[in-house]
Structure 1
Amino acid sequence: MDIKYIHFVGIGGIGISGLARYIQAQGVKISGSDVACSCSTKYLQSLGVNINIPHNKAFITNPSLVIHSAIIKKDNEELEYARSKGISVLSRAEALKIILSKKRVFSVCGAHGKSTTTAMLSAILNKYGAIIGAQSKEYDSNVRAAKSDSVVFEADESDGSFLNSNPYCAIVTNAEPEHMEYYDYDLNRFYKAYSDFLDLAKIRVINAEDKFLSTLNIDAIRLYPSKDIRNLRFFLKDDEPYSSFSLFNDNKFIGDFEVWGFGEHTALNASLAILASLNELSIDLIKENLKNYIGIKKRFDILCNDNCVIIDDYGHHPTEIKSTLDSIKQYAKLKNIDTITAIWQPHKYSRTIHNIDGFINCFENIDKLVILPVWRAYEEPVDINFRDYFARYNPIFADEIKRNGSSIELIKDNRILEVLDSGIIVGFGAGDITYQIRGSI
């Protein structure tokens, strides 16, 4: 990369902070700004990055390029000032073309499982750089800042930016319609983006049982989970959840593998990562490196394992929630735990309404459902009758939750409505529920 200095506006976001850290590792000077401090800004500051809070045009000190996150508006004073000085201003999506153009990119996308699959793949290909949309517990970051020609990258279909990721190897976990507002609710446009993404790659690895991916007539390594993943078994090791399975592909035995986590979706994600690695490493090294994967933050993230088990999960779509609950039921069986409580913070009015039937059905066979207010994510409020929709669960409606050691307090009208202190308690959502259930910011 010939660019010497890049300033990032909105650097606190998980995606853009990871990109900034990766670029810094390539030898490029970086700086940034945001509206408030966050874990990401504090981490970057600890690495010597100059970050200013809040936005101010005075922070633009002659960078070669300014990159901004998707939520930054065009009239942001830093962006306007940079343009007035003739400095190139690009969105993160636009900047990917430049940043990844000369890299050998293992690009992972899909509506569900892409963060987990990317983290698993980065564990296997542990000499390559990695940029993930979540924090890998293996290296306690969303970035492996290796200076390498190869990079494992979590690509984002939500804004079409996966098309700018320069995939050498394209891995698609599934193509379930999501973020349809970006695609003007046009399924043809949505699916064409996935087809175009795959067409860009030299090597393609796909979940061939996905409804759309199964229809594609392309040269690809195809995983058929129902027949290729065999002898799936769940067990506890040092009280941590693990799965073991035998992997086949095109009727050929690949090997027996062990991976952190429970569930068929865990085996599926691991299998895609393994298949994408076959041309890079030996089977024995793939097996060994996969053991370095120990989960990612906010995905089946066990926070407490005392009188009760408290789990934080990012699931904010019915498919994700159902998969995690299936895994939790397996975990409960092995732990001899009788009750499961789900605390759900709906994420965005549009997503909730569009998937309401799925949300109604994904909480089947749990013992208690707690529903928090919708995390609006900049959307205008819409009236949704949760009480009627979810009546069969007899849900508890709380304003917020508070962590108190190994228990969770349900708060309504500034008073404690109920205290949860037994069984498994799992929080679902992509909003601030992760901070509420952790008792931290």
Structure 2
Amino acid sequence: MKKIHFIGIGGIGLSALARFLKQQGHHITGSDIKQTTITDALQKEGITVCVPHCKESIGDQDYVVYSAVIKPDNVEMVEARRQGKLVVSRKEALLFILKERRVFSVAGAHGKSTTSAMLASMVEGSVIIGAESKQFGTNMVYKEGKNVIFEADESDESFLNSNPYVAVVTNAEPEHMEYYNYDYERFYGAYRRFLESASVRVINAEDPYLGTLEGLEAIRLYPSKDIKELTTVIRHNEPFTRFNLKDLGTFEVWGIGEHIALDASLAILASLTEYDIETVREKLKNFRGIKKRFDILRVDEEFALIDDYAHHPTEIKATLASAKTYAKAMGLARVTAIWQPHKYSRTVDNLEAFKACFEGVDDLVILPVWSAGEAERFIDFEKEFARYTPRFASCVVRQEETLVLEDAHHTLLSQGLVIGFGAGDITYQLRGKCPCK
């Protein structure tokens, strides 16, 4: 067994790997820039976490793993290299973590966390995903045996190191193009290599790129033809989607919208490589959603509050359609979107799509850009989003069962459906843990 230190262990992806290796018997330590619910949970699980980063964290570890956001001048990186330790990125670490595993690897620009969690509800095995499954109450489940359900990340090509036995691709929409130097041939080539490395492939064949793949044996889903008779079911204020898939009959899954049926269908087709149809149909009912994906924080006859991780225009558009459907079913007249743009590069690269994705919303509130470490760039949100007459706030404060915008008027939000979008700290603001309070 090894002693392994994780720099940036509070990240949702790195924390899952740390937990997995701890369950295998390795001695794990870690550090992060600030204390969070994840670092608190890791401490309770017996993992020593140093906050903030400090060079004293580097002691007798065998090697050090760092997250993608860690810079070369990080004090622990500098100290580890000074001591001559093996220092590897999360991407490089996957090569030995998943080497001997039978991996069900799920990739795609959108929906991979949800599809992974759905797949984990049906396929027996360890689970390593970049979100907290409500079914399991964690982002990592350890089980004996070789099967691993793994959410693979295309943002830095690390999915190429995931050793897929079954490769599932929800879509291949260009994202994180700054990493690929805006080289589309390299970007799409990475997806093809990912699929080629798997024994079994399950793809959304109506994706503009995936639909062009020839000479590649795959289980292909054609959503417009294969998914029929979608019905929204509200049960105890919880949304469910019922649909028919190919000639396999009717399925029901937690969630709402066409994208949920698509994700579930891909997970079903991947599961059928292991189990019979009736087993898959029943086990899918165990899926209860994932934290920060259409996460219903409060709902009653006058007010619903939802937190969603969507931070790309395609995701926002799809989730907003689901929010409107849910609002109608619950008898709520207005839909307010609170958007915390995530990264200047993403906002600039997709500005026209962002301007279109909020179409039909009754109210739009825009928070400051969550930079994720990027240098500030000027974006004239007031001008670019003028069609929505947006309101601007520094943050959102949860006060008991209402929301207050930290704007010029301290606006109260307590009617209709309010949904927050973003991959930054908006999730904590909506939960009453606003850093600006």
* TM class, shorter-length: over 0.9
Where 2:93 maps in the other structure, the secondary structure is: helix
Cross-structure match for 1:56: 54
Cross-structure match for 1:245: 243
- Contact 1:399–1:412, Cα closer than 8 Å, also in 2: yes
- Contact 2:165–2:199, Cα closer than 8 Å, also in 1: yes
Cross-structure match for 1:293: 287
Query: In the alignment, does 2:419 pair up with 1:426?
Result: yes
TM-score by length of 2: 0.96
Question: What is the CA deviation profile of residues 111-136 of structure 1, one whole-angstrom value per residue up to 9, with x for unaligned ones?
Answer: 000010001011111x3001111111
Cross-structure match for 1:417: 410
Correspondence for 2:70 among 69, 72, 78: 72
For 1:157-196, what aligned pairs fall within 5 Å after superposition? 157-196=154-193
Quick one: distance in 1 between partners of 2:190 and 2:62?
Answer: 31
Quick one: distance in 2 between partners of 1:309 and 1:221?
Answer: 39
Quick one: distance in 1 between partners of 2:398 and 2:55?
Answer: 39
Quick one: distance in 1 between partners of 2:433 and 2:56?
Answer: 32
Q: What is the CA distance between 1:330 and its match in structure 2?
A: 1.1
Question: What is the CA deviation profile of residues 164-186 of structure 1, one whole-angstrom value per residue up to 9, with x for unaligned ones?
Answer: 10011100000000000000011
Letter matched to residue 86 of structure 1: G
More displaced, 148-157 or 398-407? 398-407
Quick one: distance in 2 between partners of 1:418 and 1:55?
Answer: 38
Correspondence for 1:232 among 226, 230, 233: 230
Query: In the alignment, does 2:298 pair up with 1:304?
Result: yes
More displaced, 22-31 or 180-189? 22-31
For 1:351-390, what aligned pairs fall within 5 Å after superposition? 351-390=346-385
Cross-structure match for 2:137: 140
Quick one: distance in 2 between partners of 1:244 and 1:11?
Answer: 38
Question: What is the CA deviation profile of residues 407-428 of structure 1, one whole-angstrom value per residue up to 9, with x for unaligned ones?
Answer: 1111125xx4311110000011
More displaced, 63-72 or 157-166? 63-72
Q: What is the CA distance between 1:394 and its match in structure 2?
A: 1.1
What is the Cα-based RMSD across aligned positions, in Å? 1.3
Where 1:242 maps in the other structure, the secondary structure is: strand
Q: What is the CA distance between 1:191 and its match in structure 2?
A: 0.3
Change (3 A) 1:75 1:247: same
Aligned residue pairs total 432
Letter matched to residue 304 of structure 2: V
More displaced, 229-238 or 109-118? 229-238
Q: What is the CA distance between 1:88 and its match in structure 2?
A: 1.3
More displaced, 72-81 or 258-267? 72-81
Q: What is the CA distance between 1:160 and its match in structure 2?
A: 0.8
- Contact 1:255–1:283, Cα closer than 8 Å, also in 2: no
Quick one: distance in 2 between partners of 1:189 and 1:175?
Answer: 13
Letter matched to residue 11 of structure 1: I
Quick one: distance in 2 between partners of 1:7 and 1:73?
Answer: 16
Letter matched to residue 341 of structure 1: T
Question: What is the CA deviation profile of residues 30-71 of structure 1, one whole-angstrom value per residue up to 9, with x for unaligned ones?
Answer: 111222211111111111112222223332232222111112
Quick one: distance in 2 between partners of 1:85 and 1:387?
Answer: 51
Give structure 1 stretches of 5+ with no counterpart. Answer: none
- Contact 2:339–2:364, Cα closer than 8 Å, also in 1: yes
Letter matched to residue 399 of structure 2: N
Displaced runs of 4 or more, over 6 A: none
Cross-structure match for 2:248: 254
Cross-structure match for 2:257: 263
Where 1:417 maps in the other structure, the secondary structure is: coil
Cross-structure match for 2:113: 115
- Contact 2:237–2:299, Cα closer than 8 Å, also in 1: no
More displaced, 254-263 or 80-89? 80-89
Cross-structure match for 2:432: 439
- Contact 1:106–1:168, Cα closer than 8 Å, also in 2: yes
Letter matched to residue 219 of structure 1: E
* % identity of equivalent residues: 56
Cross-structure match for 1:333: 328
Where 2:410 maps in the other structure, the secondary structure is: strand
- Contact 1:348–1:375, Cα closer than 8 Å, also in 2: yes
Letter matched to residue 345 of structure 1: Q
Change (3 A) 1:317 1:81: same
Q: What is the CA distance between 1:221 and its match in structure 2?
A: 0.3
Correspondence for 2:96 among 88, 98, 123: 98
Q: What is the CA distance between 1:303 and its match in structure 2?
A: 0.3
Query: In the alignment, does 2:7 pair up with 1:12?
Result: no
- Contact 1:37–1:53, Cα closer than 8 Å, also in 2: yes
Correspondence for 1:279 among 273, 276, 288: 273
TM-score by length of 1: 0.95
- Contact 1:25–1:147, Cα closer than 8 Å, also in 2: no
Correspondence for 2:313 among 306, 311, 318: 318
Question: What is the CA deviation profile of residues 339-372 of structure 1, one whole-angstrom value per residue up to 9, with x for unaligned ones?
Answer: 1011111111111111111111111111111111
Change (3 A) 1:392 1:90: same
Query: In the alignment, does 2:214 pair up with 1:221?
Result: no
Where 1:98 maps in the other structure, the secondary structure is: helix
Quick one: distance in 2 between partners of 1:144 and 1:138?
Answer: 11
Correspondence for 1:155 among 152, 156, 169: 152
- Contact 1:25–1:146, Cα closer than 8 Å, also in 2: no
Where 1:188 maps in the other structure, the secondary structure is: helix
- Contact 1:117–1:270, Cα closer than 8 Å, also in 2: yes
Quick one: distance in 2 between partners of 1:372 and 1:57?
Answer: 35
For 1:3-42, what aligned pairs fall within 5 Å after superposition? 3-42=1-40
Where 1:90 maps in the other structure, the secondary structure is: strand
Quick one: distance in 1 between partners of 2:69 and 2:171?
Answer: 26
Quick one: distance in 2 between partners of 1:400 and 1:339?
Answer: 21
Cross-structure match for 1:401: 396
Quick one: distance in 2 between partners of 1:39 and 1:317?
Answer: 25
Q: What is the CA distance between 1:281 and its match in structure 2?
A: 1.3
Cross-structure match for 1:344: 339
Quick one: distance in 2 between partners of 1:77 and 1:422?
Answer: 48
Quick one: distance in 2 between partners of 1:387 and 1:285?
Answer: 52
Letter matched to residue 379 of structure 1: E
